[in-house]
Amino acid sequence: MGKSGPGMNRLEAEFAGVALGDERLNARAILIASRIAAAPAASFPEQAASVAEREGLYRFLANDGVTLQKLLQPHVQQTHERMRGHKLVRIAHDTTDFAFSGDREGLGMVMGGGADKGFFAHTALAIGADELREPLGVVGIRSHVFAATSPRRGMSVSKRSQICHKKTRDEKLSSRWEKLAIDVSRALPAGVRAIHVMDQEADDYALLAALQKAKLSFVVRGAVDRVLWHHGPSVADALSTKPAKIFRSIRVGARSKKAETQSHPARAERKAKLSLRWGAVTIRRGGPLVQSDVKELRVFAVHVCEMTPPTGEPSIEWMLFTTEAVETLADATAIVDHYRARWIIEEYFKALKTGCAFEKRQLTTRDGLERALGLFAPAAWKLLTLRYLGRLTKHRPASRIFTDEQLVLLRMMLEKRAGSLPASPTIRDAMFGIAALGGHILNNGDPGWIVLGRGYRRFLEAEEVWSLARSCDQS
């Protein structure tokens, strides 16, 4: 069913044309994808339909000819297809780490992982540049590990920084930001322009200079106290003579004492009035240790500030650097909106970790886990699309992501449980319908990843039976 169109069951489509150098391997990849689609959070043994299939799966995940990059390639191509008709796309970049328990080969230290070891995935996610901000797909992943026992342990700070300065820019891990952005941009279909969006980790002169040199467009969150030149005034100082324009009021959610961290203290809910200042700035290269041949960076800066923060509360403040020309309030607002799309990549990481239970995978080597990531990266994008569009769009028709037959099936399943689906369902209606199959109660608000993943699994299992029954009818 649903041969055409981006039906939610067509995860296999994200692997069509996969080139692993062997027809049987290609067919195996597509078979595994269909099993993952039906139960993204299930373990591999649960996903396999037979003992032979399970053995085939583990042989596949141990095959040197299968790589993360090769598995991802057809999904990147499908993502490029989805970009057609978009003149502009946002590419959100961020790094996440995956932690695994027990003894595994080739893994390293991860943040807050305790005894667990893992690896990092620096990821680029394409997002529509319109107000819908639709996740279009993953366009690149670079993985890396930190050595399990650091050879720098016990060294003095100056010794460590000496070692650090001996490394060329290319050898430094932080160069992954510009490398991925450059690779991703090169591969884009003709006529599609990308704006690369990065958080404050990317506020690094050498990195921004590399992006500018490669003629890439970006919006990067900067440090509020970044200076224009060594011991010079800050960017915020440079903008302070510009008039502040109120552009938006936002609701700032409460944060309980329990949820507070050092950088995110507890707070009461409030309405914050935000103002904007913007202008062109030139940032000069710092001391001789800055690894860049670019003498100065010419960017626009957009400073978002809370007008009257309550006493004792840290005010909301963002400094954004961009290559886009910012002349008007509308231009400045657009930059803020590009940056705000960045959180979708955080949601994508949750879809991988919670929705697909990636860190529960029992593979014993880094290579095996990376191959599994190649299988789950497109599955997590599918789940993200359903949840994201379901939560944020009130009026988009469900037919945008489901086939007519899927909607008929969903309605039947819901009616059997004394539920219902409207005659012309929206994506939101379909999301609540699928969550209800997973046991979600409407009064509990928007469904979380677990209940949605469970409902999605039940729906896809029913669909498999339904499509089998139909093919028997026809033969």
Question: Cβ of residue 428: shortest distance to Mn ion, in angstroms?
Answer: 29
Q: Considering only residues 139-178, where is the footprint of Mn ion by CB under 5 A?
A: none
Alpha carbon distance 395, 154 (integer Å) = 59
Decide whether 202 or 369 has the Cβ nearer to Mn ion: 202
Question: Cβ of residue 96: shortest distance to Mn ion, in angstroms?
Answer: 8
Part in contact with Mn ion (CB under 5 A); list of ranges 23-31, 45-53, 88-96, 373-381: 88-96
Count the site residues for Mn ion by CB under 5 A.
3
Decide whether 199 or 324 has the Cβ nearer to Mn ion: 199
**Site membership for Mn ion, residue 134 (CB under 5 A):** no
Q: What is the CA radius of gyration of the chain?
A: 24
Question: Cβ of residue 201: shortest distance to Mn ion, in angstroms?
Answer: 5
The 3-state secondary structure of the chain reads CCCCCCCCCHHHHHHCCCCCCCHHHHHHHHHHHHHHHHCCCCCHHHHCCCHHHHHHHHHHHCCCCCCHHHHHHHHHHHHHHHHCCCCEEEEEEEEEEEEECCCCECCEECCCCCCCEEEEEEEEEEEECCCCCCEEEEEEEEEECECCCCCCCCCCHHHHHHHHHHCCHHHCHHHHHHHHHHHHHHHCCCCCEEEEEECHHHCCHHHHHHHHHCCCEEEEEECCCCECCCCCCEHHHHHCCCCCEEEEEEEECCECCCCCCCCCCCECCEEEEEEEEEEEEEEECCCCCCCCCCCEEEEEEEEEEECCCCCCCCCCEEEEEECCCCCCHHHHHHHHHHHHCCHHHHHHHHHHHHHCCHHHCCCCEHHHHHHHHHHHHHHHHHHHHHHHHHHHCCCCEHHHCCCHHHHHHHHHHHHHCCCCCCCCCEHHHHHHHHHHHCCCCHHHCCCCHHHHHHHHHHHHHHHHHHHHHHHHHHC
Decide whether 220 or 414 has the Cβ nearer to Mn ion: 220
Decide whether 121 or 305 has the Cβ nearer to Mn ion: 121
Question: Cβ of residue 171: shortest distance to Mn ion, in angstroms?
Answer: 21
Part in contact with Mn ion (CB under 5 A); list of ranges 8-16, 33-41, 90-98, 255-263: 90-98
Decide whether 122 or 411 has the Cβ nearer to Mn ion: 122
**Site membership for Mn ion, residue 199 (CB under 5 A):** yes
Question: Cβ of residue 350: shortest distance to Mn ion, in angstroms?
Answer: 14
Nearest to 124 by CA among 108, 110, 107, 136: 136
Question: Cβ of residue 125: shortest distance to Mn ion, in angstroms?
Answer: 13
Question: Cβ of residue 173: shortest distance to Mn ion, in angstroms?
Answer: 13
Decide whether 199 or 464 has the Cβ nearer to Mn ion: 199
Question: Cβ of residue 440: shortest distance to Mn ion, in angstroms?
Answer: 30
Decide whether 176 or 270 has the Cβ nearer to Mn ion: 176
Nearest to 460 by CA among 369, 357, 386, 354: 386
> Of the candidates 32, 37, 94, 437, which one interacts with Mn ion according to CB under 5 A?
94
Part in contact with Mn ion (CB under 5 A); list of ranges 100-108, 193-201, 400-408, 420-428: 193-201
Decide whether 201 or 331 has the Cβ nearer to Mn ion: 201
Part in contact with Mn ion (CB under 5 A); list of ranges 191-199, 256-264, 307-315, 415-423: 191-199
**Site membership for Mn ion, residue 97 (CB under 5 A):** no
Part in contact with Mn ion (CB under 5 A); list of ranges 91-99, 293-301, 420-428, 431-439: 91-99
Part in contact with Mn ion (CB under 5 A); list of ranges 43-51, 111-119, 195-203, 280-288: 195-203
Decide whether 95 or 385 has the Cβ nearer to Mn ion: 95
**Site membership for Mn ion, residue 203 (CB under 5 A):** no
Part in contact with Mn ion (CB under 5 A); list of ranges 10-18, 86-94, 315-323, 398-406: 86-94
Decide whether 141 or 434 has the Cβ nearer to Mn ion: 141
Binding site for Mn ion (CB under 5 A): 94, 199, 201
